[in-house]
Amino acid sequence: MSRRSLLRGAAGAGAVGLAAAAGAGAVVAATRPASQPSLPPAAKPVTVAPMPQAAMAGPLVVYLRDTTTGEFDVFGDTGQVRVRNPQLVAQLLKNVQLAW
Amino acid sequence: MSSHREAPEISKDPVADSTDVYAFVSPDNPSTVTLIANYIPLEGPAGGPNFYSFGDDVLYEIHVDNDADAEPDVTFQFRFQTTVADPDTFLYNTGPIRSLSSPNWNSRQTYTVTRVKNGQSAVLASGLACPPCNIGPLSTPNYAALAQAAVHDLPGGIKVFAGQRAEGFYVDLGAVFDLADLRPFENLHAQYGMNVFAVAAPGVNATAQLNVHSIAIQVPIGQLLWGSPHGKVTDQGSVIGVWTTASRQTASVWDAQQRANCSTGPFHQVSRLANPLVNEVLIPLGSKDLWNTLPPSADKQFADRVTQPELAGLLPALYPGVFPNLAKLVAAGTARADLEAILLTGIPSGIVTGFQNYTGPVLADMLRLNTAIPPSAKPNALGLIGGDAAGFPNGRRVFDDVVTVELRAIAGVTVPLVDKSFTPDGAASLVTDGLTAASVPSGYLDKFPYLGVPYSGFETPKS
């Protein structure tokens, strides 16, 4: 699988952030499909620290401390949002495994 | 040291490592209080070509509690920005820097000061110039005047300065960290049977030719108080608690494409300091990093480390026969209410005649200053135990001999404040690392920012 298709497969803001953190934000923006598969969070994301709207432009950093919980933190500007989305995490891990 | 490299994690992050905090009624402007927070320990003055600077990615803060809950009521925030004029030269300066606007100055810092009061943030000033580091007679001629030009007057009668200063804290590090050797008493040290020291020796100031980076702000007293009765020494509203913190953003990623660190997320505290030597000497190694991340209001969990200090047990063991009364006190397991008052609550009225800096029962390491006590006409560097209520532990002045004060306090000299039946050992009122304010070659300034002109790289060390 190419890097481009790997990035395309990882949908949602978390995947954007992870890629942006690796310095590939522009690639993601250029390759984002018109209709993205929806992997909604299991619960309403929790604002740990308010994240300004402008932060969504990146860079964002995603921190996945424990892959078994389906929970991860997204950091942008001075904000932090905690998201619980087991489906997205599982999808992400599958994508990562493609690199092996 | 006061708080230089005092904990494992922060010792790896010098720009965020707070080293000393000072708070005192300004001697030349007694309607104001001067607050100083020092960072970047043990700067070698010749440390170029990338001379020392504050961290652009660090949030520096000086906090003031004025209602005795150990929570910040007034906070001054400082954020720095580095600008490199010409990235195609390796030079910090391409010629003499004769003014703060000199085009020869290649790598400079400016900063923003924000005040947070009652939850409201207000930028007091931005684009304020730091002075350059003191390099030498060719690069930074007339340095004292150059640096003094970086004292900025802000609206509301506030002065501010941020930049390099001579280290004003004096301590015999080499001896103290060699198993609590105090050179003036080292012939009495047990020496582990090695008999290395036959006679006493004078102290050596390990910081004598080193610099720090200081953030200093002078504020009219009324702007730091909350309105309860104040102005008299007995008014609890006259007392403020002061501490500094440094914080970094939670997430940090090295962006290989940008070749820069990407810091993002909310700021979290990585360094804290109020009273000298608390985290350094009283908090055990396994808790030091945790202590640095907590607010003073969480200090209750460390109270036993203050009231049962490890060093109080070491002194009688390392200096056999010198501290017999202290040894009995330690053996009895007596909690040191004197140290709790000095470091965690302030000293209530009725303990020292005409003095109090009590902030209530909340156990919190804050530098407590009774702002109603005027500056001393004849300061004594031993502060309160030297009969000078304008000095440590009533706040802390730049020249106060805090090492000696705390050594003597831990040795038992302050126990009679709370237990009249206790007789301190004769050595308790003599113990010292053998240094005085005169051990600081730069001396101190009699005006803001009070800490001395930094040592220049050219002149240090002396040949």
- Residues B66-91 pLDDT 10s: 999 999 999 999 999 999 999 999 99
A9: pLDDT strictly greater than 50: no
pLDDT of residue A36: 66
Whether residue B453 is contained in a domain is answered as no
Position A31 pLDDT exceeds 70: no
Kindly report the average pLDDT of chain B as a whole number: 96
Instruction: Report yes or no on B450 lying in a domain.
Output: no
Closest to A21 (Cβ–Cβ): which among B249, B262, B266? B262
pLDDT at A24: 39
Q: Which of B40, B120, B41 is nearest to B80 (CA)?
A: B40
Distance separating alpha carbons of residues B371 and B139, to the nearest angstrom: 41
Give the mean pLDDT of B419-434. Answer: 97
Nearest CA in chain B to A26: B257
Q: Residue A15 pLDDT more than 70?
A: no
Percentage of chain B modeled with pLDDT above 90: 94
* B375 pLDDT above the threshold of 80: yes
**Closest chain B residue to the Cα of A81, Cα to Cα:** B265
What is the three-class DSSP state of B261? strand
pTM: 0.92
3-state class (DSSP) for residue A14: helix
Query: Going by C-beta distance under 8 Å and a sequence separation of 6 or more, which residues neighbour residue B186?
Result: B175, B197, B200, B201
Nearest to A75 among B251, B256, B257 (CB): B251
Per-residue confidence (pLDDT) for residue A5, from 0 to 100: 41
Question: What per-residue confidence (pLDDT) applies to B66?
Answer: 96
Give the model's pLDDT for residue B129: 98
Q: Are strands B107-117 and B152-154 parallel, antiparallel or unpaired?
A: unpaired
pLDDT of res. B230: 84
Containing domain of residue B392, as a range?
Answer: 10-439
CA dist B49 and A40 (Å) reads 52
Q: Is the pLDDT of residue A4 over 80?
A: no
Strand ranges in chain A using DSSP code E only, listed in sequence order: 46-49, 60-63, 71-76, 79-84
What is the rounded CA–CA span in Å between residue B36 and residue B445? Answer: 14
Contacts of A79 in chain B (CB under 8 A): 265-266
Residue of A47, A78, A81, A82 best to disrupt the B interface, most CBs of B under 10 A:
A78
Q: Tell me, what's the pLDDT at A25?
A: 41
What chain B residue is nearest to A47 in terms of C-alpha separation? Answer: B266
Count of alpha carbons within 13 angstroms of residue B292, beta-carbon side? 28
Q: What is the ipTM of this complex?
A: 0.80
Pairwise CB contact (< 8 Å): A75 & B256: no
Q: Tell me, what's the pLDDT at B439?
A: 97
Q: Which runs of consecutive H residues, i.e. helices, occur in B205-302? A: 288-293
CB-nearest to A77 from B253, B258, B264 is B264
Each residue's pLDDT tens digit, A64-92: 999 999 999 999 999 999 999 999 999 99
Better-scored residue on pLDDT, B197 or A19: B197
Backbone angles phi, psi at B86, to 5 degrees: -135, 100
pLDDT at A23: 42
Question: CB distance A78–B251 less than 8 Å?
Answer: no
| Residues B258, A75: C-beta atoms closer than 8 Å | no
For residue B229, pLDDT over 90 is answered with no
In the predicted model, what is the mean pLDDT of residues B143-166?
98
Euclidean distance between CA atoms B425 and B413, whole angstroms: 8
- pLDDT value of residue A13: 37
What residues contact B271, with CB distance under 8 A and at least 6 apart?
B10, B13, B16, B17, B18, B244, B245, B246, B292
Give residue A37's pLDDT: 73
Structural domain count, chain B:
1
Give the other-Cβ count within 10 Å of B356's Cβ: 24
> Where residue A28 falls among pLDDT bands split at 50, 70, 90?
very low
For residue A63, give its domain range: 3-97
CB contact under 8 A, B265 and A21: no
Question: Would you call A49 and B251 a contact, using CB atoms and an 8 Å cutoff?
Answer: no
| Mean pLDDT calculated for residue range B416-423 | 96
Q: What is the mean pLDDT of residues B315-319?
A: 97
Q: Which residue reads 């931005």 in tokens?
A: B126
Distances (CA, A) of B42 to B213, B346, B399: 10, 30, 18
Instruction: Measure the CA–CA gap between B344 and B17, rounded to whole angstroms.
Output: 22
Q: Taking CA atoms, what residue in B is nearest to A18?
A: B253
Distance from CA of A42 to the nearest CA of B (A): 23
Given pLDDT bands bounded at 50, 70 and 90, which one contains residue A32?
Answer: low
Residue-level pLDDT at A34: 57
Cβ of A60 within 8 Å of Cβ of B258? The answer is no
The nearest alpha carbon in chain B to A79 belongs to B265
Please list, in sequence order, all residues whose beta carbon lies within 8 angstroms of the beta carbon of residue A35, skipping any fewer than 6 positions away: none
Burial class (CB in 10 A: 0-12, 13-18, 19+), A27: middle
Q: Which of B214, B254, B57 is nearest to B134 (CA)?
A: B214
Contact A39, A48 (CB under 8 A): no
Residues B349 and B366: beta-carbon distance below 8 Å:
no
Which pLDDT score is estimated for B205?
A: 97
E strands within B236-287? 239-255, 260-273
Contact flag B257-A48 (C-beta cutoff 8 Å): no
Q: Which two tokens stand for residue B187?
A: 């012939």
Model confidence at B108, in pLDDT bands (50, 70, 90)? very high
Q: Report the pLDDT value the prediction gives residue B142, as an integer from 0 to 100.
A: 97
The answer as to whether B92 is a domain residue is yes
Task: For residue A2, name the pLDDT band (cuts at 50, 70, 90).
Answer: very low
**What tens digit of pLDDT does each residue of B4-62 get?**
888 889 999 999 999 999 999 999 999 999 999 999 999 999 999 999 999 999 999 99
Is B446 within the bounds of a domain? no
How many percent of chain B have pLDDT more than 70?
99
| CA-to-CA separations, A66 to A70, A80, B54, B183, B434, in angstroms, rounded | 8, 17, 35, 52, 53
Confidence at B462, pLDDT banded by 50, 70, 90: confident
Sign of torsion over alpha carbons B409, B415, B416, B422: negative
Q: Provide the pLDDT for residue B169.
A: 97
Q: Which residues of B touch A (CB under 8 A)?
A: 249-251, 253, 255-258, 262, 264-267
What band does B1 get if pLDDT is binned at 50, 70 and 90?
low
CB contact under 8 A, A49 and B253: no
Mean pLDDT of B304-326: 97
CB contact under 8 A, A61 and B258: no
B1 located within any domain: no
Distance from the B168 Cα atom to the nearest Cα atom in chain A, whole angstroms: 35
Q: Residues B415, B417, B423, B425: is their CA dihedral positive or negative?
A: positive
Work out how many domains chain A is built from and give that number: 1
Q: Which of B255, B264, B267 to mutate to test the interface with A (most CBs of A within 10 A)?
A: B264
Residue B309 in this model has a pLDDT that exceeds 50: yes
